[in-house]
Structure 1
């Protein structure tokens, strides 16, 4: 009879083993090596070829795969399945493995993978997708659910397994990758990969598989220097350089570490560095760009087997060549007041710095192939690396010449007399002319007011613009001339800088002439710009505004002045009621303020003077 305690312990150990083996899928937690086995199922438009014997119990078909069938094809256009390309990047008519699950769950793929290394951790991965469209099978489509298993080469020891879990039919055409990590045992160089359906077939559970991959799995290994450099960039003129590199594995996979350092000039071909098998490398002195890395494995016997090892990060020692001096695009000539653009060409990987001297000097502009500047002189362009200070040994000179502008008079005003013309002069010689009127001569005649511009261009092609504003001066237009007591007042119908005269010789700016004796006058009005004179004849009759007949001999008589120039004169004086108080002719034009010998009272009185064909009317005051 079996010992009950032994039986319980046995169950516990079996249970623990199964739990360990049924771990979840997962990727290598460290650094994955290069692929050592890959099956992308080839390419072409013809279905097949059939998987090797013993790989599957499913039936191979070159037509539509029914339940329990599989095919290898470049198309998924069967049933109502999703139409998609294979997962392998870059191939044309790439093929994939199509599996229509059998009605009974179980194994559908079985393959041995050999050439592995003993006592080494590996990552298996594959890409899967559910081919059933969303909503198929009236919404109850059977999901895809695959179990991956890695067995030893005797097919008796399960090394690792994991399930994808249910992959529903969402209608997505995005492939998903699933992975499983396992470790070979001592003396073991082959394993068996198995794929099993966890769900029965029927409506749904239709899948595609592509890019089955095995690669080693090891630690992540970083390479640093004592200065914590991850890489090094130097200039060629620094001579040879070297560094002490330290490899630091994260021990996420390996329990022990074996090393083999390598170097390369192109990161394609790597050469072992003899005797360098520790975590530290004193690099050889290099004068050209060189790359360093170390291969790493858990066991010294595996470090040089690329099926067993992984590689570290790469430490770059980049030696930059000294740039050639940039090539000038030519000297530049501009006109005063403009900006010139000096430019050079160089390789795209270099930047350009501008200086004011061939050596040393001041930095004017950095990292620009074009220098925009307006000051005449020679400027120097230097090519430099964008990564570190690694400059061309010489600088390229580019000269900016600044030509002067034509010297022109300031903008000005010119005055145009009404109904006349004026000649405008650019007032500069030995240049070409372009007037806003279209004329190309130095001088032009204009008859209208306005703004006239002339562009003058000298022999250097530099130009300047002068503007002349033409202002029209209109002749005065006399509106009226009136006598205001002894004054003559002139009014014009337009405005201007007018001058006035009553003799044509002496002019004044005031339109009022004061204390002028009565008589015949010619009134002259002209503009101050000498654009002409207008005249008008005027009879100036001086009428007192009041008189005071009080016997003091001062202003005792009302007597208009200026009537003597007329041949025939009559004068009538009325009171406010229209009564005729005085009537006289050329021989009796004055009034002493009496009527029939009686003094008239203080009041306003009206006069009517008829002189030849002219009438003068108005009123005056009598004051006692």
Structure 2
């Protein structure tokens, strides 16, 4: 059974992933023969992310290496030598002295269960540069699996005081020639510390603040035994990638004041190391991050104004930003659901709608848009502008809703006697302030909606 870390890890100090297809790792880490084929022969290896159809289909098809999010990444694909022995040796530098480390690697037996053959059997040895053995672990037989499965193997070792460089050796205990084919990836060294259980305001549930809110939070941690002289350092991050030491944050319990909570929020974690090593980030073990979630000020956009023909609903194109927000359109009249971001609207007349977006901090922002309703056009063919108060003007039903409509009227000779944009004031039968003679005239109405124009006769009566 692997001797892996049961406490809290540090960031990887070394992470050998064998590079990518375009940029493979270089070095003399093996005495096997390098080959470019993805089906290496006995006693050889290749750096690749794939292998397929090897040795009559006796090998698994592998479509990618083990490293997460490693686009076109490599693994070391090995066809073992017929003679057992050391096949990998690499000097590992940059370690912290007097520190407990976990070494680990992921190994796949690439042979299918249906193919009889020797099973990979490896021994990992870590030595100081003078040859002193610091750790040793043997995997035993690595069994075949129904599908290619990377299994983690590793051990715990301690770097002596004053030693920051070690040698990693991998021994092949089984013969090749018939099986003993493997892939290895993600050879990693990282600090192994005590169990660190960080808390925020006494728990592990994220704390929520409103954007701009001032608050004081309490960071604390339970740390198990493991270091002779443990030292502590709290860190903060706003992107969970770049972490910064908090000045003065070198106790297990720390009070932090946030003068004005910024959008995006904050993450906190406790790092722990031996007192002599706390100044080096790579020597520290890390707690899980605890989070302050900042509820952003909401944003709102009611969307563009809409125009539609009466009786045909229009969908409103509202947009909103922020976390944990609710929506409300007003007035709610003629909306299928005023609490939806994009309701259907069917008002009988032009209506201005307001979209309100409210977050969990009860902050509300608003924006407006207009739904314009095109009414049915009804064009009379006569009117009598004789001043009797009845039918004195040419009232065109619904035309008032088309504010951009162009109305033109011609006499029988084709002369223009009336024109208007929009139709707020119906035509009174006059031209140049004089009442036109009784007779038939001809109209042309362009609604400017992309629909067909209206044309026809209109008669002025006595």
TM-score range, shorter chain: 0.5 to 0.7
Partner of 2:364: 392
Maintained 8 Å contact 2:32/2:87: yes
The reply on whether 1:87 has 2:66 as its aligned counterpart is yes
Partner of 1:503: none
Alpha-carbon distance, 1:126 to partner: 1.4
Task: Please list the CA deviations of residues 468-487 of structure 1 after superposition, one character each: whole Å capped at 9, or x if unmatched.
Answer: xxxxxxxxxxxxxxxxxxxx
The structure 1 residue matched to 2:84, chosen from 66, 85, 105, is 105
Partner of 2:357: 383
CA gap 1:188/1:329 in 2 versus in 1, 3 angstroms: same
CA gap 1:374/1:93 in 2 versus in 1, 3 angstroms: closer
Quick one: distance in 2 between partners of 1:148 and 1:357?
73
Quick one: distance in 2 between partners of 1:399 and 1:92?
49
TM-score (norm 1): 0.50
The structure 2 residue matched to 1:247, chosen from 209, 212, 221, is 221
Maintained 8 Å contact 1:29/1:253: no
Alpha-carbon distance, 1:309 to partner: 0.8
Instruction: Please say which of residues 76-85 and 266-275 is displaced more in the overlay.
Output: 76-85
Partner of 1:197: 172
Quick one: distance in 2 between partners of 1:48 and 1:188?
25
Maintained 8 Å contact 2:304/2:369: no
The reply on whether 1:263 has 2:239 as its aligned counterpart is no
Quick one: distance in 1 between partners of 2:290 and 2:23?
46
Quick one: distance in 1 between partners of 2:318 and 2:10?
44
CA gap 1:272/1:367 in 2 versus in 1, 3 angstroms: farther
Quick one: distance in 2 between partners of 1:76 and 1:401?
65
Maintained 8 Å contact 1:72/1:95: no
Quick one: distance in 2 between partners of 1:48 and 1:239?
49
Partner of 1:606: none
Q: Equivalent residues in 2 for 1:516-555 (5 A)?
A: none
Partner of 1:72: 46
Quick one: distance in 2 between partners of 1:213 and 1:76?
23
Alpha-carbon distance, 1:73 to partner: 3.2
Alpha-carbon distance, 1:152 to partner: 3.6
The structure 2 residue matched to 1:370, chosen from 331, 334, 343, is 343
RMSD over equivalenced CA pairs, Å: 4.0
How many pairs were matched up?
370
Q: Which runs of 5+ in 2 are unaligned?
A: 381-395, 400-462
Q: Equivalent residues in 2 for 1:136-535 (5 A)?
A: 136=115, 139=116, 141-159=117-135, 161-170=136-145, 172-226=147-201, 228=203, 230-236=205-211, 239-249=213-223, 251=224, 254=227, 257-287=230-260, 288-289=262-263, 290-330=265-305, 343-349=316-322, 351-354=325-328, 365-370=338-343, 380-385=354-359, 388-394=360-366, 396=368, 459-460=397-398
Quick one: distance in 2 between partners of 1:26 and 1:303?
25
Alpha-carbon distance, 1:61 to partner: 5.8
- Between the two structures, name the one with larger relative contact order (CA 8 Å, sep ≥ 6): 2
Quick one: distance in 1 between partners of 2:89 and 2:3?
21
Alpha-carbon distance, 1:117 to partner: 1.4
Alpha-carbon distance, 1:259 to partner: 1.6
Maintained 8 Å contact 1:260/1:304: no
* 2:141 aligned counterpart, secondary structure: coil
Q: Which runs of 5+ in 1 are unaligned?
A: 1-23, 359-363, 406-429, 434-457, 462-624
